[in-house]
Copies of this chain bind each other. A is one copy, B any other.
Amino acid sequence: MERPLRLVAANPLDRLARTLEALLVVASQPLSVAELAEATGDDAERVETALGLLSERFHEGRSGIVLEKVAAGWAFRASRDAAEACGRLFERPVERGLSAAALETLAVIAYLGPCSRPEIARLRGVAADSVVAGLVERGLIAEAGRDQSVGAVRYRVTPLFERVFGLESLSELPRLDDLGSEAEEIRDRLESLAEARPA
C-alpha cells in the first residue's frame, strides 16, 4: 500500500485535485468546471477527472466533508451524518439583547420615522452601513423607498421589530416629551447636536 500512495502524491493530477480542494473550501458559491479550469490554468477535462477523484474521497459515509454537484457547479457541504450537529451549530441561542449601536440605530428609525443610512450616520456621528445591514439581516428594519432629495434608500422598522419590543404600533413607544413633542423637533435637536460634535 505504501508504494502506490507515494505514486499518487507525485502525480500532477493529485496536485490539481489539491488545488481544487483549496478553491472549493474558500468559495462562497458553487464553482463551475469552467471557473475551476480558469483558476487552475488547467483544461476542463483534467479538472473533471480531478473532481472525480475528489468525489471519491469526499463521499457521503466516508468523510464529513462531501463534494456535491449542484446545478451551478461544485461545492462542499456537510455530510448527512453530521446533520444533527450542524443543526445545533446553526441554531443560535436566543440572544438576550442588542448592541448599543443596533439599539441607537433602531431608536433613531423608530422615533424619527424612515431614515437613510447617511441620515443615521450624521445623527449618530458614526458610519451606519454595517449596523443597518445587520438590522436588515435580522429583519428588524426594512427598506422603505428612497429619500426624495438625495435618492438614498430609507429604512423603517418592521412588524418583527414591534413584536420584539412588544408594541402594537409605534404610537406606543415611550414618550420623549423632554426632548420634544414631535419627531421633527427631536430630529432638529439631534441634528444640531450632531453638528456641534467633532466629525
Q: Which residues from chain A sit less than 8 Å from chain B, CB to CB?
A: 1, 15, 17-23, 25-27, 31, 35, 38-41, 63-66, 76-79, 81-82, 85-86, 88-90, 99-101, 118, 124-127, 129-131, 133, 136-137, 139, 142-143, 145-146, 152-153, 198-199
**Chain B contacts of A41 at CB under 8 A?**
85, 88
Nearest 9 CB-CB pairs, A to B? A21-B64, A22-B82, A18-B64, A22-B78, A22-B64, A1-B1, A39-B89, A101-B143, A39-B88
CA distance A31 to B145 in the complex (A): 38
* Listed A/B pairs (25) with beta-carbon separation below 8 Å: A18-B81, A18-B82, A19-B64, A20-B64, A21-B64, A22-B64, A22-B86, A23-B64, A23-B78, A23-B89, A26-B90, A27-B89, A31-B89, A38-B88, A39-B86, A41-B85, A100-B145, A100-B146, A101-B143, A125-B153, A126-B133, A126-B136, A126-B153, A129-B137, A131-B143
